[in-house]
A and B are shown apart, each in its own frame.
Chain A
């Protein structure tokens, strides 16, 4: 149930409770998010933005989000 943060970041960041994904959405589109374990972010794939998680607390302020590189996004969608 709880998503792991990886060995490296375990001391710094607390675990993100993925149960939150049941009702947590992008504040802009109100659509579901995906938890990306490698970067510890919540991804809105459609809009190409990523919200950071710090100390297990998701930051859902649009200004805090970063744009996901379009090129990487295209490559990843080709893989799947």
Chain B
């Protein structure tokens, strides 16, 4: 089962992630944030947030991004000699203590409560607490009101959802009009040479690595299979369009090993 897989690999997942993707998974997530380009005030829902060691990866990046945007705004104002009163300056410091800039909020929702618990502890250690909530929930049946969020992200989580169309419908429902759907997921490689290397890598190397590092060959085989079974770029784009999203696009990263799909609720 999906849950068993996560339980059995969780503790060594970070090492595996880094060796499997050669640390590139961090760049993929950074790219997701740059595409999102959130502004202070954005309400984010991050679904199927990952595993115990990845917990909160997207949320923390989002918070960093918003904070640096805010700092940049303040610095720009100072540079252009706009009248920034002492009240405004002190307010900008106050905001960082009590809430995220602009009243931004992040909700991390995942089916795995252990993952969320660890994510929450991690957040407290790293100083990300305000404006960040953790909710155990199912992507196919979200416990949120309609039209709530500006952005919905799902990073390396949708391929493990049983009914992808239901997850997409729920994403549509909870997004505000004008809101954006963003999915970062393994996809199909578009270059024949790289494709062969990737096949070799995923069917030969990864299970062996899985056995050596995590001692769990079967779980990694399952992961590799789930990547293989997930629809290719165009097919997934069509599914997103069928849900009702508009201006649906995708961007291939690393020759299509991974893709970011984006759509808007308009």
Task: Please report A residues at the B interface, Cβ cutoff 8 Å.
Answer: 17, 20, 23-28, 30, 54-62, 64
Contacts and interface: CB of A to CB of B under 8 A. Distances in A.
B29 interface: no
A36 B1 CA distance: 34
Q: Which of A23, A28, A61, A62 has the most CB of B within 10 A?
A: A23
Contacts of A24: 135, 143-144
30 contacts: A17-B133, A20-B133, A23-B145, A24-B143, A25-B143, A27-B137, A27-B138, A27-B141, A27-B142, A28-B141, A30-B145, A54-B113, A55-B120, A56-B134, A57-B113, A57-B116, A57-B134, A57-B135, A57-B136, A58-B135, A58-B143, A59-B113, A59-B136, A60-B135, A60-B137, A60-B138, A61-B136, A61-B137, A61-B138, A64-B136
A57 B145 CA distance: 18
A4 B157 CA distance: 33
A27 B117 contact: no
Nearest to B119: A57
B74 interface: no
A60 B134 CA distance: 11
A23 B142 CA distance: 11
Given A56-B120, A60-B137, A25 B113 contact: no
B147 to A, nearest CB: 10
B234 interface: no
A27 B120 contact: no
Nearest to B124: A14
Contacts of A62: 138, 141
B148 interface: yes
B133 to A, nearest CB: 6
